[in-house]
Amino acid sequence: MNFRTDLALENTKPAQQTRRERDGCVVTRIEDGGRTYVTMEVKAISDNIDSDNSLLKILTEELSGLVPKEGPVLAAGLGNRSVTPDALGPLTAEHVLATRHIRGELARVTGLENLRPVSIVSPGVLGCTGMEAFEVLKAIVDELKPAAVIAVDALAARSPARLGCTVQLSSGGISPGAGVGNSRPRIDESTLGVPVVSMGIPTVVDASTFACDLTGGDAPPEKAEPRGAPMMVTPREIDLIIERGSRLLGMGVNRALNPSLSVDEFDELT
């Protein structure tokens, strides 16, 4: 059986992985075909508050290493805001500070002259907008010509133990919905024409994959797919995972792109 997962950590052998531990967070780096994947294994996001911003600091540093050092950036929150396990991207976008419009006299009087231009978009999903997220992003990229796109989306994992306990960053873009068998057009440098850095937290496990792991079988029990319809499993505390995870990712984007502002200042401005 082909187990569904968006996590590079679950698709590669340990020999391909470089691991290190820092402040209770295990950071795994994988280089695959010119693409870099960084996986942060953290304490349960739903149960732990990053009160000293130590996790945010690690995330910021890892993201800074993947994003171009200069130029405007488009932050894209992918997913469906109305479906809680899929709302990570849109809610993350709400925590990112848009700065592209802060220029000239406005920048001078507010003391924000040195901000890096950041634009934000939540393109929605095909079933709600009639447009693929890729189509929306392609049009915006062609118009704004950013130096890079940061795409945030909820992910699927193979192991339930990774739900809400893992953050993945990648320089290789993203295929929205691939982990749940609903793959949409890929969003990466080859399709958009600019570097695409993806960020995400796993929020669901495919029920068939979960059932196979529990039973030790290679084929999913029929009850895992009633009437042949795939099902997804998500934690009971998914609301907290999305709420706290979206703030973590949003602040990571803010601090990586505009480190001159503090977390408290971003909280006041977003």
Please report the pLDDT score of residue 269 as a whole number.
85
Q: Which of 108, 8, 74, 103 is nearest to 253 (CA)?
A: 74
Beta bridge partners of 152: 77, 199
> Shortest CA distance to 196 belongs to which of 148, 240, 242?
148
At 94 the pLDDT is 97
Delineate the domains of the chain, giving CATH numbers in brackets. 8-258 (3.40.50.1450)
What is the predicted pLDDT for the residue at 236?
A: 95
User: What pLDDT score was predicted for residue 24?
Assistant: 87
Q: What is the pLDDT along the chain (270 residues), one digit of tens a residue?
A: 557 889 999 989 988 999 999 888 999 999 988 899 999 999 999 998 898 999 999 999 999 999 999 999 999 999 999 999 999 999 999 999 999 998 776 666 666 778 999 999 999 999 899 999 999 999 999 999 999 999 999 999 999 999 999 999 999 999 876 545 566 788 999 999 999 999 999 999 988 877 777 776 665 656 666 666 678 899 999 999 999 999 999 999 999 999 999 999 898 888
| Structure-token pair, residue 263 | 């977390």
Residue 119 CA: distances (Å) to CA of 59, 132, 175, 241: 20, 19, 21, 25
pLDDT at 157: 94
Radius of gyration of the chain (CA): 19
Residue-level length of the chain: 270
Rounded Cα distance between 249 and 59, Å, is 8
